[in-house]
Amino acid sequence: MDISPELTRKMNKSLLALSPLILLHFAPLMAQQPAINMSAPQILVGARGEVKVSPDRANIQISVQTRAATAAAAAAENATKQKAVIDALRQLGLRANDISTAGYSVNPEQRYEANREPVIVGYTVVNTLSVEVRDLTMVGRIIDTAISRGANVVSSLTFYSSNTEAARREAIGLAIQRARLDAEAAARAAGGTLGGLLEVNVGAYFPPPRPMDFGVRVTAAQAAPETPINPGEQTVTVDVSTRWSFVPGSR
């Protein structure tokens, strides 16, 4: 279909009338993105901020390990002992979702002799619980109770803080303050002064747990009452990178 010259002129007038509105609409968006003059002298500084916090949570890995001539017998004994451990922990006030199964394995034990096929002499079953502790004063009692009911492996104890947001923000502030001091020192050494902050990047933060790896097998007779536990402190660490303008001194 052919478009008449008159219709073409009307369409062009409409586009001309809309053009200023389109430019005005995008102008504020463009103004919000000021470009950094990368050719101007700048100072780049990285720094780290650290804040100490006290852990308020713990995770304990507790296992029951049993051995018998058959896999079924080892599993049955293990189930009986692990149930006793779980029941005892619940009686201490732990909630059901604070106790979860972290691992379960059944492995044959073999005897090796020269020039002969390996012979299975028994089976080992290991059932591992992951126990979340919200009251750190209970950690020692939980370990002692589990051992007294049949647990014989405590593989790890990890302390951590459940809320590190305030400490993380404080660490960010300390890191930027340190970066400013370093940038000012660099500017003075270069014969000028420090200008404004052009850019700052805050690195990802992963709160480090504070593990205490036991990896030992114990018996109820070896367990001293009220095992002493000291959670200590946790360090919250944040890295930042900064970019500052540099004002050269007069020559």
CA distances 72 to 77, 108, 127, Å, are 9, 12, 14
pLDDT at 211: 57
Q: Please write the tens of the pLDDT for every residue from 124-155.
A: 999 999 999 999 999 999 999 999 999 999 99
Query: Are 222 and 144 found together in one domain?
Result: yes
- The domain tally of the chain equals 2
pTM of the full structure: 0.67
Q: Which two tokens stand for residue 7?
A: 């219709």
pLDDT at 40: 83
Q: Please write the tens of the pLDDT for every residue from 56-70.
A: 999 999 999 999 999
Query: Are 173 and 195 found together in one domain?
Result: yes
Contact status, residue 67 vs residue 126, Cβ threshold 8 Å? no
Query: Are 71 and 132 found together in one domain?
Result: yes
Which residue in this structure is represented by tokens 């780290």?
48
Query: Are 59 and 48 found together in one domain?
Result: no
Query: Are 109 and 223 found together in one domain?
Result: yes
Name residues of the chain where pLDDT drops below 50.
15-31, 216, 219-221, 223
Among left, alpha and beta (phi > 0; psi -120 to 50; other), residue 25 is alpha
- Cβ contacts of residue 106 below 8 Å, gap of 6+? 71, 74, 75, 123, 124, 125
Q: Which residues pair with 243 in a beta bridge?
A: 44, 199
Which residue in this structure is represented by tokens 């804040």?
51
pLDDT at 117: 87
Q: Which two tokens stand for residue 170?
A: 């404080």
Q: Is 169 a member of any domain?
A: yes
Query: Are 102 and 213 found together in one domain?
Result: yes
Q: Is 60 a member of any domain?
A: yes
Q: Is 79 a member of any domain?
A: yes
pLDDT at 220: 46
Q: Which range marks the domain in which residue 91 is found? A: 55-161+209-227
Contact status, residue 78 vs residue 104, Cβ threshold 8 Å? no
Of 146, 153, 158, which is closest to residue 92 (Cα–Cα)? 146
Query: Are 138 and 46 found together in one domain?
Result: no
pLDDT at 46: 96
pLDDT at 15: 45
